A and B are shown apart, each in its own frame.
Chain A
Amino acid sequence: MNPISQFVRATRPIYRNLSTSACVASARPIPNTGFCFELNDEQKALQELARKFTKEEIVPVAAQYDKTGEYPWPIVKKAWELGLMNGHVPEHCGGLGMGVFDGCMVAEELAYGCTGIMTAMEASGLGQTPVIIAGNKEQQKKYLGRLIDEPLVAAYCVTEPGAGSDVAGVKTRAEKKGDEWILNGQKMWITNGGVANWYFVLARTNPDPKCPASKAFTGFIVEREWAGVTPGRKEQNMGQRASDTRGITFEDVRIPKENVLIEEGAGFKIAMGAFDKTRPPVAAGATGLAQRALYEATKYALERKTFGVPIAHHQAVAFLLADMSIGVETARLAWQRSAWMVDHGQRNTVMASVAKCHASEIANKAASDAVQIFGGNGFNTEYPVEKLMRDAKIYQIYEGTSQIQRLIISREILTAAKQSNG
């Protein structure tokens, strides 16, 4: 275990144990062969499947879903049939128990086709992750098994109108009443909010303002069809329009005590621990978008002529492509490493932040540069790149804003520096 992680573990008790211990239980042994940058045959076959699916099922309809904002159920169902969703569900629930790396690989391929459609699928994974890392066997069998048996999706409900980055500021509250918890509050910007079968909800269970965040919150599994659960209207967003984002109101919702994850007060840890597994796929998604921007821009630059030659022959344009490529390659290496680390039982919190932050920024730059290369055509909806630019922005915001990622990374640097003797 490398020294930096050790120090962080000692000094950040709120993050201690949860993600790492859950990983260590199913962590893969680290091979002795040193660095390897090659996929194995099974991964190649999986990547091929995802790529083919994207090309044939997602790319042809992405623009249409972007226009209508309709939830891509037909695509979600097809992907579910092929096993492209829910690969990470443990085997005892009927899943494949796949690692984060393989899931990220699929995410990047799907995102290449459309990040809105891909987010609709990934958000279900985000909602499931607390149950995967903190659920008991009964909860896992019931709620994860349900998603394996039918093409249903889940959602992760933490953000509120008044609390996004400041998760400790969550005001939705749950009060114990006999064998049940009564849930009241408002969530916002919940991806899959209107279509999910069940939600992971974070609520404050200790009303004492002096109680530390690490003990004041509890994680619950809440079913969509319970009385008092009201998803709001579908929000009209700048991009990723196929994805369903809504506010959700909980009014005196009765939660049985069996639906508490771990125990009262464990919620904050669970909510944060999930990110170690879900930030790499988001980074992979942003990488897929950047790759698409690069592909479209290159294709166009070889066709469009200016001053007698294809514009790709002008260095100003060629250099934009080169910078896009630098972004794509480094973002890919970053998600790959952060995913590999968590699969092999290493604490990847910082690397996941690095990957997510970097990928989101290069994706925005690549999409913007792609529009630039397309010139006037790039600004127009008949060409594919303006959608990429609209879709890219959210990557700097959701799953932890770029500013929060920088907070995580810089804290790590300073902690390690203070602890080091050199």
Chain B
Amino acid sequence: MARVLVGVKRVIDYAVKIRVKPDKSGVVTDGVKHSMNPFDEIAVEEAVRMKEKKLASEVIAVSCGPAQSQETLRTALAMGADRAIHVEVVGAEYETMQPIHVAKILAKLSKDEKADIVIVGKQAIDDDSNQTAQMTAALLDWPQGTFASKVEKTDAGLTITREIDGGLETIKTKVPAVISADLRLNEPRYATLPNIMKAKKKTLKKMTAKDLGVDLAPRIKIVSVEDPPVRQAGSIVPDVDTLISKLKEGGHV
């Protein structure tokens, strides 16, 4: 049976209206509601279902971030993960942490924990990078099934249905492999009250990126964060010819 590693990220809750900090260094996070990235909830749900179907023996949840990431891990435990690992990243390192860093951490942990399947959400709703799964697979030299809307385990490995622009693509991979969860993969369960209480007793291990030999030196520098430009009013033109000449003037055709 497979051992499954699930990456979960603590992000600003999807329902919150994002505000940019006045000094343009980032968005306001203080006192703002955070929760688990919705695609990561789907990833955890898939891992727990695998365990219920006896395809997986253990589900390990991992999160990289500040102390509050432990709340996100507790949610994963309450949904059915067996244990959790918190890789603590704080301050400036956290501000500039990128998928490449997270991928290196997940790759190292996958080797240390002898994981057979790594599942993450396809992208985080704060940075929309859509890179972590792909980079992790490349670092491990494992096959990847991204944008998964269905995952089946067979004797040979995994059969993954992917959502692509043109429709659905079905691929077969061996195990170990990396999967990234898309919206229609499943409907995440509520954490039941008994499970919330059980989650308290499950193991949560804390470590640093240094413990894993991963360098968190920034690859990017945040120059400025600004609101998208306010939408300009349109104008009504009298006929199609004027429309075409205006579009040509604007360089749009």
Contacts and interface: CB of A to CB of B under 8 A. Distances in A.
Interface in A64-100: 81-84, 87, 96
Contacts, number: 34
Contacts of B192: 49, 81-83
A49 B193 contact: yes
A46 B193 contact: yes
Nearest to B193: A83
Most buried by B among A41, A81, A84, A87: A41
A42 interface: yes
Contacts of A44: 71
Interface string A46-60: 100100110000000
Contacts of A87: 193
B180 interface: no
Interface stretch (B91-99, B194-202, B240-248): B194-202
A149 to B, nearest CB: 14
A160 to B, nearest CB: 36
B196 A49 contact: yes
Given A41-B71, A42-B200, A45-B78, A96 B193 contact: yes
A42 B78 CA distance: 11
A87 B192 CA distance: 11
A49 B35 CA distance: 12
Contacts of B138: none
B74 A45 contact: yes
> Which of B74, B75, B78, B190: most chain A Cβ within 10 A?
B190
Contacts of A49: 190-193, 196
A307 B192 CA distance: 49
B15 to A, nearest CB: 9
Range, interface on chain B:
10 to 19
A360 B199 CA distance: 36
Contact of A53 (B190, B194, B199): B190
B21 to A, nearest CB: 23
Given A41-B74, A45-B74, A45-B78, A96 B197 contact: yes
Contacts of B191: 45, 49
B194 A45 contact: no
A96 B78 CA distance: 16
A162 to B, nearest CB: 41
Contact of A42 (B75, B190, B197): B197
B252 to A, nearest CB: 34
Interface string B176-220: 000000000000001111101101100000000000000000000
Contact of A52 (B74, B190, B200): B190
A113 B193 CA distance: 19
Nearest to A43: B196
Contacts of B200: 41-42
B194 A96 contact: yes
B75 A83 contact: no
Contacts of A82: 190, 192-193
A81 B197 CA distance: 15
A84 B193 CA distance: 7
Interface string A127-154: 0000000000000000000000000000
Contacts of A52: 190
A83 B71 contact: no
B94 to A, nearest CB: 21
Interface of B: 71, 74-75, 78, 190-194, 196-197, 199-200
Given A42-B196, A46-B196, A83-B193, 18 more contacts: A41-B71, A41-B200, A44-B71, A45-B74, A45-B75, A45-B78, A45-B191, A45-B196, A45-B199, A46-B193, A49-B191, A49-B193, A53-B190, A81-B192, A82-B190, A83-B192, A83-B194, A96-B193
